[in-house]
Every structure is written in C-alpha cells, then in structure tokens.
Amino acid sequence: MSPIEKSSKLENVCYDIRGPVLKEAKRLEEEGNKVLKLNIGNPAPFGFEAPDEILVDVIRNLPTAQGYCDSKGLYSARKAIMQHYQARGMRDVTVEDIYIGNGVSELIVQAMQALLNSGDEMLVPAPDYPLWTAAVSLSSGKAVHYLCDESSDWFPDLDDIRAKITPRTRGIVIINPNNPTGAVYSKELLQEIVEIARQHNLIIFADEIYDKILYDEAQHHSIAALAPDLLTVTFNGLSKTYRVAGFRQGWMVLNGPKNTRRAISKGWRCWLQCVCAPTCRPSMLSRRRWAAIRASANSSSPADACMNNATAPGSLSTIFRASPA
C-alpha cells in the first residue's frame, strides 16, 4: 500500500515565518528566552484596540445577522465600499463589482484559482507577502518574482519586470504600501507600471491593505484609478486600519472594462463562500461615520495610533533604543 503524502501542489508553497522560523522561536521560548513576535500584522496583542463604535455596531446588529447573507456580502456594506472607491477615482465601480470575504487572504486565493490556468505565470514582488506566492502555486500557476531593490528605496525594478514577462504571464501583483518593506509608491511609478501592464495586457492585482498606515506625509494612490482601461483587482479590508484583524473582514473590487468584469463575475459567483454576516456590519458604515471614528478622541488615525504605541515608555522601540548594541 502506497503511503499517503501531501499534494505536489504544496512543494512550492513556502511560508518560513510560520514554519522553520516559528519553530526556532518556540524552541527559544522553551529554553526560557523571551521572543518578540513581530511576524504577524495582528494589532490586538500589542494594545491596538478597535474603535468603540465598530464594536457597538456589531453587537447592536447581531440579532439581524443570524442567517446567510449574499455570497458577495451584505448589500449595504458593498454599497458603502463602492462609494469609498468612487470617491477615490474609480467612477465606474458598481455594487456588483464588490466582493466581501472572510479576510483578504481568502479572496486572494479565490482570485488566483478563478483566473489562473495550469502553467500561467504571475509577476510577484520580491520580497513579498508569502501568501501571494503560495496562492499562485496552489492555483497551478508559477510565481515569477521581480526585484524590489533596497538600494532604490525598495521600489520595483521596472527593467526587471519587463525582462520577466513571457507569453504565459497573466498578471502582476502590486503591494502598496508594501508588506514587508513599507515602501509607498509614487503616482509616477504606478503610472509606469500601468503602462507596462497595458503593453502586455496584464491583469493588475493591487494589495492595498495598509493604505492608511502612512508616515512622514506619504500619500497613497490606488493604481486602479490610474488604469480604467485595464482589469484591476484591488484588495483591502478593516484588519489593519481599524484594528479588527480577528473580524476577518476583507474585500475585493473589480475595475476595468465592463464586459471583462461581467465575464469574471459570472465565474466567481458560482463558487463564492458566504461571508461572516455579523462582522460584515462595520464595512457598511458611511464615509462620514468613518471620518468621525478616525477623528474621535479615543481613535486616532491608524498611523498615529501605531506611532503613539511605539514611542510610549516601555514600548518595543524604546526598549530597543535603550538596549546595548
């Protein structure tokens, strides 16, 4: 009898920060060492709590969230997300172009499985958030990594991108602000990437989950707003900005030619899973209420909250500054 083994699709799935690195961290802890776990964007353990209004809104609406919702997510939530992106320049986005999922990670995997055929190539930044490479591999695709050069402020190397495009290249992943480097891309750089995608008919996958964690007057630009003629799939959510990672609330927005959006949407709808209805509620808060939440005394901006916690007495950064080299 042959042994039961893991699928060969997992051979190229690497997530060392949750594998050998985590294993070594646990070993050090067992020896009595204190390990600072900075490997996961999980705000709660570090004292970043969700705004009260979000928690109250979820509790208040629990009685009306006992059944399944639309497989795309609550209509009212999708409408609020639509209005947000329309205000950011994506004028043609409709409610039907919005998909809410149980976290952005789930949606990334679903998008790759829906759009990649066996052997298709996807341009992925190096370094990258490992899930992107894993999702491509699990979808029978091939992740081709383009360089984000440290000597150039971790910006994508456009010549390297061009050199790695082949007839099998289906799309390009743009993580902006970048995880793990923190680089925020200029409008001019994004326009150059759009032009490359336009020349080679590439789908743009924009991971923008950190779009409001900005420092030093950095400004974020949504690449979809710069490419209305191209199919762009934008990913975002509440986890980082509003410190509710455990709610698993992410969304995916289709932008581009209407006939292309309709064709893809028809395929996706066939197998979408139902989103968690209770935690979908905060996504429907209006732009005015989100602005009020950010401006309230107990809820500074996401970037300010991170900076305040990081520089407080006894914080990790102050400990590091006080520690000998």
- Does 315 reside within a domain? no
- Does 297 reside within a domain? no
- Identify whether residues 23 and 75 lie together within a single domain: no
**Closest to 252 in 3D by CA, of 109, 87, 121:** 109
* 21, two tokens: 């690195």
Q: Place 318 in a pLDDT band, splitting at 50, 70 and 90.
A: very low
- Identify whether residues 34 and 136 lie together within a single domain: no
- Identify whether residues 112 and 242 lie together within a single domain: yes
- Does 182 reside within a domain? yes
- Does 83 reside within a domain? yes
Alpha helices in 141-286 (DSSP H): 158-163, 187-200, 258-269, 277-280
pLDDT score for 317? 38
Q: How many separate domains does the chain show?
A: 2
Beta-bridge partners for 156: 148
User: Judging by DSSP bridges, how do beta strands 142-149 and 155-156 pair with one another?
Assistant: antiparallel
- Identify whether residues 126 and 30 lie together within a single domain: no
- Provide CB contacts within 8 A for 78, sequence distance 6+: 72, 95, 98, 99, 100, 251, 283
- Identify whether residues 31 and 76 lie together within a single domain: no
- Identify whether residues 185 and 63 lie together within a single domain: yes
55: exposed, middle or buried (Cβ count in 10 Å: 0-12, 13-18, 19+): middle
pLDDT score for 15? 64
pTM: 0.80
- pLDDT tens-place string over residues 20-34: 778 888 898 898 898
| Residue 25 per-residue DSSP state | H
Q: Which of 109-113, 158-162, 315-319: highest mean pLDDT? A: 158-162
- Does 139 reside within a domain? yes
- Does 184 reside within a domain? yes
- pLDDT tens-place string over residues 144-154: 999 999 999 99
* 1, two tokens: 């009898």
Write down the mean pLDDT value for the chain.
Answer: 79
Residue 61 confidence (pLDDT) above 90: no
- Identify whether residues 150 and 249 lie together within a single domain: yes
- Identify whether residues 60 and 155 lie together within a single domain: yes
- Identify whether residues 26 and 128 lie together within a single domain: no
**Closest to 72 in 3D by CA, of 277, 255, 215, 234:** 277
- Identify whether residues 211 and 82 lie together within a single domain: yes
**Closest to 77 in 3D by CA, of 218, 237, 186:** 237
- Identify whether residues 133 and 212 lie together within a single domain: yes
Which domain CATH number covers 259?
Answer: 3.40.640.10
- Identify whether residues 141 and 59 lie together within a single domain: yes
- Does 300 reside within a domain? no
Q: Which domain holds residue 248?
A: 53-277
- Does 313 reside within a domain? no
DSSP string, 303-325: HHHHHHHHHSTTSHHHHHHHS--
* 67, two tokens: 């059944």
In a 3-state reduction of DSSP, which class is residue 171? Answer: strand
Alpha helices in 139-222 (DSSP H): 158-163, 187-200
- pLDDT tens-place string over residues 240-258: 777 777 777 788 999 988 8
